[in-house]
Amino acid sequence: MNIADYRILRTRAGFIAAEDRGWIAVAGQDRADFLQGLLSNDVVALSPGAGCYAVCLTPQGRMTADMYVLAQPDRLLLDVDRGVADRLRERFDDLVFTEDVRVADLSAGSAGFGVHGPAAREVAEALSGPAAGAMAPCAHRALELGTAAGWVARTDDLGIEGYRVVVERPAAEALQRALEAAGAVAVDRTAAEAVRVESGRPAYPIDMDHDTIPLEAGIADRAISFDKGCYVGQEVIIRILHRGQGRIARRLVGLTLGRRDGAEPAPPPRGAAIFSGGADVGRVTSAVRSPALGGVIALGYLRRELADAGGASVEVSSGTERVPATVTPLPFVPPADRAV
């Protein structure tokens, strides 16, 4: 990790190419009602300029994607992981029968950057005007860069204040120059990952995948509306909450790794086993060396009984050894006041 890049994210504004993101446009008069039955959050309630974070579930309540839903005047724009964009478009296309709905994948023709840090708001304002300063999470507005059209949306991807800025692909270099002129600095992904894990922010498909129930990942408060009508996967969510009193078999937790023989361990790989009393009790999903905490931290899933036991001691597989670790409340590093 470049520690200078980490400091930029914590004290200024850094930007990263959004190469891992895709964008799907859903247009037509029935677009909101159509997505209302497929996504976990309240899409119908969105007015132009507003947005929400949501997940798309299987009938078994497992995640197929998470996304930011942005309500633009003539369409709903879905900001999703690039790896699932085409599959999601195909699924939505297959579900359109008589509805006035048109689905298009804009990923190939669009380019974007994530801008993160305490000064990210000022960078967004420089690009799109002062109204960006009042943006709520997932709110967005149009952006014009020369003759290229685009948008800026608040996403807080790393758990600190952050924005996604997207334009038509031919204007990508011009957008990068505009970000630099506004004071943002290009940073590497390892620094961004350190901030994200310190913030306890799960990412799809790293910490959440096709086996994850949203309640396990701790995203229900952001991703699920409990006041809307039916959507795919809702029965499973409601059954867990009401019949099971919210009990789930596993839960995403923070882990602070200790030292072995005085040496700091390397961050364990994704999928590294977690043990308690010799029993395999979970898996690591993300791990980094935290500059703020001066050691290795991780996100991972643990059995409910250990996840609910604050400060429980476990061991994490690291190469041929097992490293002691402590279950730690999330976030490891609380966000600044401006982040949501």
Give the helix, strand, coil percentages of the chain, each rounded to 5. Answer: 25, 35, 40
* Shared-domain flag, residues 43 and 177: yes
* Closest C-alpha to 268, from 247, 295, 286: 286
Q: Do 193 and 113 share a domain, yes or no?
A: yes
- How much is the pLDDT for 338? 42
- Are 128 and 50 within one domain? yes
For residues 52 and 186, membership in a common domain is answered with yes
- Whether residues 179 and 258 share a domain: the answer is no
DSSP states along 13-39: -EEEE-TTEEEEEEESTTHHHHHHTTB
Instruction: Give the CATH number of the domain where residue 255 resides.
Output: 2.40.30.110
Q: Which domain holds residue 258?
A: 249-340
What's the domain count of the chain? 2
Domain CATH for 63: 3.30.1360.120
Per-residue pLDDT of the chain (340 residues; tens, 9 = 90+): 899 999 999 999 999 999 999 999 999 999 999 999 999 999 999 999 999 999 999 999 999 999 999 999 999 999 999 999 999 999 999 999 999 999 999 999 999 999 999 999 999 999 988 765 568 999 999 999 988 999 999 999 999 999 999 999 999 999 999 999 999 999 999 999 999 999 999 999 999 999 999 999 999 999 999 999 899 999 999 999 887 667 899 999 999 999 877 788 899 999 999 999 999 999 999 999 999 999 999 999 999 999 987 789 999 998 788 999 999 999 999 987 444 3
Same domain, 194 and 324: no
Q: Are residues 53 and 177 in the same domain?
A: yes
User: pLDDT at position 276, please?
Assistant: 96
Residues 10 and 156 reside in one and the same domain:
yes
Identify any residues that bridge with 287 across adjacent strands, giving them in sequence order. 298
Q: What is the rounded CA–CA span in Å between residue 224 and residue 230?
A: 12
Within this chain, do residues 82 and 144 fall inside the same structural domain, yes or no?
Answer: yes
C-alpha distances out from residue 163 to 124, 143, 155, 212, Å: 7, 13, 5, 26
pLDDT of residue 87: 96
Inside any domain, residue 203: no
